[in-house]
Structure 1
Amino acid sequence: MAERVVLHYFNGRGKMESIRWLLTVAEVEFDEVHLTDREQYEKLLSDGVLMFQQVPMVEIDGMKLIQTKAILNYIAEKYNLHGKDIKDRAMINMYSEGLMDLMEMMMMLPFTAPEDLKTKLDTIESKATERYLPVFEKALCGPVFLVGGKLSVADVQLLECSLMLEEKFPGIFAHFSNVKAFQGRMTRVPAISRFLQTGSMRKPQPDQTYVKTVMEVFNIQLPIIR
C-alpha cells in the first residue's frame, strides 16, 4: 500500500491551497503537518529537506517536493490532469500561471498595511476584470473545460481563483457569465462538492492567527513590500 501524501505548511491557505484542491480532485487522501513555530521550520532546514529553504513541501512517492508549480505539475501528470499532449500542456501551463499570478496578489492581502489595503483591492479587482477574467470568459464560450475537452489542473485553479475573487468582490462575475456557469458546473463534481463542505481539508480565509504564525516562523515583520 502506498504511503499517504503529507503536506508541510501552515494551517491556512497560502500557496498550499492549490495543492490541496488538486489532490482533492484527483481523489488522493493526504495528511498535514502544520508549521506553528520557528523551531519546526529550522528543523526542516537542518534536515536538508527544503531546497531553497521554502515551503510548501509535499512528501509523495518517496520524494520531498518543493516549489508550488513543480508540485502541481507532478500531481497533474500523475493523475492525468495535464492534457493529452505537449500542446495541451503548454496551454494548461499558460492558464495556470496566469491564475497563480492573480491568486498570489490575493494571498498577500492579509500581509498588507491597513492604509494600503483599499489600493491593493482596487488593483486586484481592476486586473481581474480587465486582464484575467476576459481570457477565461472567451476560452469558455462553448467548451466545458479550458483545454482539450477534459478536466485539467487549470480548471481546478480557475475554480479556486473564482471563489477567492467572490469572497473579496461579490458580484464580480456579473459580466462574465461563462466563468460563472463554469464555476457552477465544477462545484457539482462530487469530490469538489465534498471539499466545499464545512469540516473538509479546505482552509478558511486567512485570519490574524495565520498571519502572526507566518511572521513568527519566517522571522519577518509587516508589512511585506511587493
Structure 2
Amino acid sequence: MSGKVVLHYFDGRGKMESIRWLLAAAGVEFEEVIITKREQYVKLMNDGALMFQQVPLVEIDGMQIVQTKAIMNYIAGKYNLYGKDLKERALIDMYTEGTIDLMDLMMLYYFFSEDKQKRLSDIEQKAKERFLPVFEKGLANSDFLVGNQLSRADVHLLETTLMLQELFPTILSTFPKIQAFQERMKALPRISKFLQPGSARKPPSDEVYVKTVKEVLSHLFK
C-alpha cells in the first residue's frame, strides 16, 4: 500500500463526494481508482478490503477504511476539522448528520424513475422547512456553524447547499445567512480550487453513473 491517499469508488458523487470535499478542504491530494465493472468490486471483497461488502473504500495512513462516517471522522480528526473539544464535536456531528440526511434524499432521487416530480417536491419542502432554517439560525452570530474555526460541518453544508441549488436555483433566496456563508466558503483558497473546472469534484449523477452503480451492485437492486 502506497503512502498516497487512494479512493475506490464509482465515477460519480454518491457517498464518496463528501469525502472528496473534506480532503480538498484539508489540502490533501488523492488518487482515485474508478470502479466500472462488477469484477473490480468482487475482487475488493475477495481481497478482504471491504469489511461489510460496501464502498466507499479509502486507503490512508496504511489502512483500508470503509464505512462513510468512519472515513470522514478519521479525516476530520486528522486534519483539525472536528472542533476543539467533545462538546464542539457533538454539535459538529449533529449538523453533519443533518446535511447527510438531506444529501441522501437528493442522491436517491436519481435512482428512481417513478414519481420524479413528487420526490423533488418532497426534497424542496423538507429542505425549506426542516433543514435550512436550522443552518440559518446556526450562522446567525458566527461565520462558522460551530466555534470560531472551519469544521467539517461547514464543508458539508457548502456541499449540500450547492447540490440543492442545482435542483432548485432560488431555494436560498430567503436564507441570507447561508448565502453569505457560501460566499465566504467559496473564497477560501482550497475550496475555490476544488470548485474550479478540472478538479476532482464530480458532476450531478447521470444515467451512465446510475447504470454503472446498478450493474456493479446488482445484488442490491434485485
Give the shorter-chain TM-score range: over 0.9
Give the match's secondary structure for 1:55: coil
The offset of 1:183, in angstroms, is: 0.5
Would you say 1:138 and 2:137 are equivalent positions?
yes
Show the counterpart of 1:170.
169
2: distance between equivalents of 1:205 and 1:102? 15
Deviation beyond 4 Å, 4+ runs, structure 1: none
Please give the per-residue CA displacement for 1:129-176, whole angstroms capped at 9, x wherever unaligned: 000000000010120000011100000000000000000001001110
Measured in 2, the distance between the counterparts of 1:3 and 1:47 equals 19
AA aligned to 1:52 is F
**CA apart distance, 1:49:** 0.7
Measure the CA separation in 2 of the matches of 1:71 and 1:42. 21
Structure 2 match to 1:107: 107
Indicate the SS of the match to 2:100: helix
- Indicate the SS of the match to 1:65: strand
Deviation at 1:186, TM superposition (A): 0.2
Q: Provide the secondary structure at the position in 2 that maps to 1:59.
A: strand
Task: Look up the match of 1:53.
Answer: 53
Secondary structure of 1:126's counterpart equals: helix
Partner SS, residue 51 of structure 1: coil
Residue in 2 that maps onto 1:156: 155
Give 2:23's aligned residue. Answer: 23
* CA distance in 1 between partners of 2:220 and 2:67 (Å): 23
Instruction: Supply the distance in 2 between the matched residues of 1:103 and 1:26 (Cα, whole angstroms).
Output: 21
RMSD after superposition: 1.2
| Cα distance in 2, alignment partners of residues 37 and 82 from structure 1 | 35
Query: Residues of 1 paired with 2:89 and 2:207: CA distance?
Result: 38
Please state how far the C-alpha of 1:116 moved relative to its aligned partner.
1.1
Q: SS at the partner of 1:31? A: strand
1:220 to partner: Cα distance? 4.9
Report the residue type matching 2:183 in the other structure.
G
Residue 34 of structure 2: aligned partner: 34
> Residue in 1 aligned with 2:5?
5
Q: What letter matches 1:107 in structure 2?
A: M
SS at match of 1:137: helix
Structure 2 gap segments, 5+ residues each: none
| Percentage of matched positions with identical amino acids | 62
Distance 1:98 1:67 in 2: 18
Q: Once the 2 structures are TM-superposed, how far is the Cα of residue 198 of structure 1 from its aligned partner? A: 0.7
What secondary structure does 2:115 align onto?
helix
Change (3 A) 1:221 1:19: closer
SS at match of 2:110: helix
- Deviation string, structure 1 residues 98-144 (Cα, Å, up to 9, x no partner): 1001001101111012x311111111100000000000000101200
CA-CA distance at 1:67 after TM superposition:
0.8
For 1:220 and 1:55, locate their aligned partners in 2 and report how far apart those are by CA, in whole Å: 14
Instruction: Indicate yes or no: 2:69 matched with 1:66.
Output: no
- How many aligned residue pairs are there? 221
Task: Give the deviation of 1:90 after TM superposition.
Answer: 0.2
SS in 2 for 1:15: helix
Paired residue secondary structure (1:118): helix
1:126 maps to 125
Tell me which amino acid in the other structure corresponds to 2:21. W
